[in-house]
Amino acid sequence: MTVLIDGKAFAKRLRDFISLQVADIKSSLGVVPGLATILVGEDPASEVYVRNKSKQTIETGMASFKHTLGSATSEAEVLKLIAQLNADDRVHGILVQLPLPRHINAEKVINAIEPAKDVDGFHVSNVGMLGTGQKAMLPCTPLGCIMMLRDHFGSLSGKNALVVGRSNIVGKPMAQLLLADDCTVTMAHRYTEDLEGHCRRADILVMAVGRPEMIPGDWIKPGATVIDVGINRVERDGTTKLVGDVDFKSASLVAGAITPVPGGVGPMTIACLLFNTLTAFCRAKSIPEPE
């Protein structure tokens, strides 16, 4: 029987845990963790993401500081806002919604965030700390994936893990987290030869490409655990549907466990952003952080 890894239910448990922690903090310290979001421009998808992040922040009892800036905002103005938020004691996490308009250098903006407040885990200091096994802020999507894998397996030690996709926000940090959990990690990308062979050897397959249903079930090792990060919109029977990078129907006949799309990795990403904001608060106050 294939296990369906229910990211939606896992994310709800995580948010409930965060709410309890925040309530405890509020009653003992009289303050709450705060997350500032910065949205530049009018990208409709980004507006939805930021609205959801802010809504869920408030639902867990944390403070949300929303900064919505017009598309003509200059890089200097964004940097000035980040400097203010870095210095603001009520703000423990800062999230800049990507992509930014073309005239703004995203790397420069991300690297202006105080690393301790970089709840997306994209600052070069956090990337370096993750790579060298130091205590970092971890990027939310890979953090959600590794939480689900640890919950499913207990120990990941010795597993053959294949990560397909090598972006800075998903693929690379995912591989680092699997390596830190003692997996034997292979990374695949556009130029990988014999992707099918690599898939067939993987006990854990993490797909982070953005190509609808590119992996058929018969490429998957029987009993393997499949984490599908991909979110792809396809037209089927006159309606728009979300599908992953794995062909869920055929893969779920072969895999031992699999995340659905939607309802797998997606819900975990925002829950992990809230988790990181709580972690940042605990580190700032030198109190035990959530595990």
Catalytic residue ranges = 53, 97, 120
121 binds ligand NDP (CB under 6 A): no
Q: Which is nearer to ligand NDP, 81 or 206 (CB)?
A: 206
Amino acid at 112: A
Min dist CB 194 to ligand NDP, Å, is 11
Q: Cα–Cα distance between 76 and 105 in angstroms, integer?
A: 10
Among 13, 189, 201, 249, binds ligand NDP (CB under 6 A): 189
According to the binding rule CB under 6 A, does residue 106 interact with ligand NDP?
Answer: no
Query: What is the C-alpha to C-alpha distance for residues 68 and 229, in angstroms, rounded to an integer?
Result: 28
Residue 6's Cβ-side half-sphere holds a number of Cα atoms within 13 Å equal to 6
Range in contact with ligand NDP (rule: CB under 6 A) among 34-42, 96-104, 204-212, 283-291: 204-212
User: Are the C-beta atoms of 39 and 47 separated by less than 8 Å?
Assistant: yes
Task: Provide the angle, in degrees to the nearest 10, between the axes of the packed helices 265-285 and 44-59.
Answer: 50
Which of 32/264 has CB closer to ligand NDP? 264
138 to 167: interface string for ligand NDP, x by CB under 6 A: ---x----------------------xxxx
Does 169 contact ligand NDP by CB under 6 A?
Answer: yes
> Is 166 labelled a binding residue?
yes
Query: Judging by DSSP bridges, how do beta strands 225-228 and 232-236 pair with one another?
Result: unpaired
Segment near ligand NDP (CB under 6 A), from 8-16, 42-50, 206-214, 282-290?
A: 206-214
Q: 194: exposed, middle or buried (C-beta count within 10 Å: 0-12, 13-18, 19+)? A: exposed
- Which structure tokens are listed for 262? 């939607």
Does the footprint of ligand NDP cover residue 110 (CB under 6 A)?
no
Give me the residue label for tokens 């790397």. Answer: 107
Residue matched to tokens 């959990």: 181
Q: Indicate whether 64 belongs to the interface with ligand NDP (CB under 6 A).
A: no
Contacts of 15 (CB under 8 A, 6+ apart): 56, 59, 60, 271, 274
Q: Which residues are annotated as a binding site for NADP(+)?
A: 165-167, 231
Residues that constitute the known binding site: 165-167, 231
Q: Which residues bind ligand NDP (CB under 6 A)?
A: 141, 164-167, 169-171, 188-192, 195, 208-211, 229-232, 265-266, 269
